Structure 1
Amino acid sequence: MPFTTVGITAEIEKFDRLAQGADAACEKAVKAGAKLLAQRISEETPIRTGALAKSIKPGSVNYSAGDGYTCEVAPKGNHPKTGEPLAKIGNIVEHGRSNMAARPFFVPAVKKAEPEVVAVMQAELQKAQGG
């Protein structure tokens, strides 16, 4: 008695389409999450001149076998008036120094934004799956 399957071809084709678009979907999801995270960190950044808040941007999406897809979100560039690296200024604001109290903003903003960022990334992946 022969064994016959019905409808599996369509499921295999669907699986193949999902697999082919997986890299692009992951990149898009990580980029969307990083963009939102940068926005949320900027909103929580203490404002003196505004340069630090404006400098927080997502970098490019990278992939490695060990880490998967990643995207650095960090202050970019130098302060327009002093030339000081904005990443250094952000570190000083976050952790303080001997003559200045710490004003943590970066780590608390990341923790606060995590559920929203994850939801945005999940939605991007769902879109890629046709859902």
Structure 2
Amino acid sequence: MGISMNGFDELIFAFDELSEMPDSVLDGMLEAGAKVVERVTRETGESYGVHRTGVTLGAIGHDAPRKTADGKAVYIYPKGSTANGPNKTKRNAEVAYINEYGKKNQPPRPFMRDGAERAAGEAVQQEEQKFNDYLTSKGL
């Protein structure tokens, strides 16, 4: 009487395929999630009234995925600067910070944090779709 296993070779092959997943797949997953977070953060900013000129919300973007100590990450933030009166410029990140945490006579409008939290479910769905597309391409 022997032990019989069906599909074991296919399972080992599947794990080998997953271990060799190209960086481009992970990058695509991170990019897909970042696009969702950007869109929802802009929408959240609009709902909080962070749109006097629209420059800061329009400047929300992300850099290419980069390696970190924990793997890879993509950073989403307001890029660049905006005109703030004659001969003055202010970094969009600074404007967003003031909106996020408030200042004297200006209550906080935490659109960055709330936007990221609101986007989490949809961002994960988009990332999962990219991963599932990769699995399907490998017949897994």
Relative to the length of structure 2, the TM-score reads 0.79
Q: CA deviation at 1:8?
A: 5.7
SS at match of 2:74: strand
- Rounded Cα–Cα distance in structure 2 between residues aligned with 1:122 and 1:4: 34
1:70 maps to amino acid:
A
- Rounded Cα–Cα distance in structure 1 between residues aligned with 2:9 and 2:53: 60
Equivalent residue number for residue 108 of structure 1: 114
Q: CA deviation at 1:83?
A: 1.8
Quick one: which of 98, 101, 106 aligns to 1:92? 98
Equivalent residue number for residue 62 of structure 1: 66
- Rounded Cα–Cα distance in structure 2 between residues aligned with 1:123 and 1:13: 22
Equivalent residue number for residue 27 of structure 1: 27
- Rounded Cα–Cα distance in structure 2 between residues aligned with 1:121 and 1:19: 18
Identity of aligned residues (%): 24
Q: CA RMSD in A?
A: 2.4
The answer to whether residue 48 in structure 2 is matched with residue 48 in structure 1 is no
1:51 and 1:80 in contact (8 A); partners too: no
Runs (4+) of structure 1 exceeding 6 A deviation are 3-7
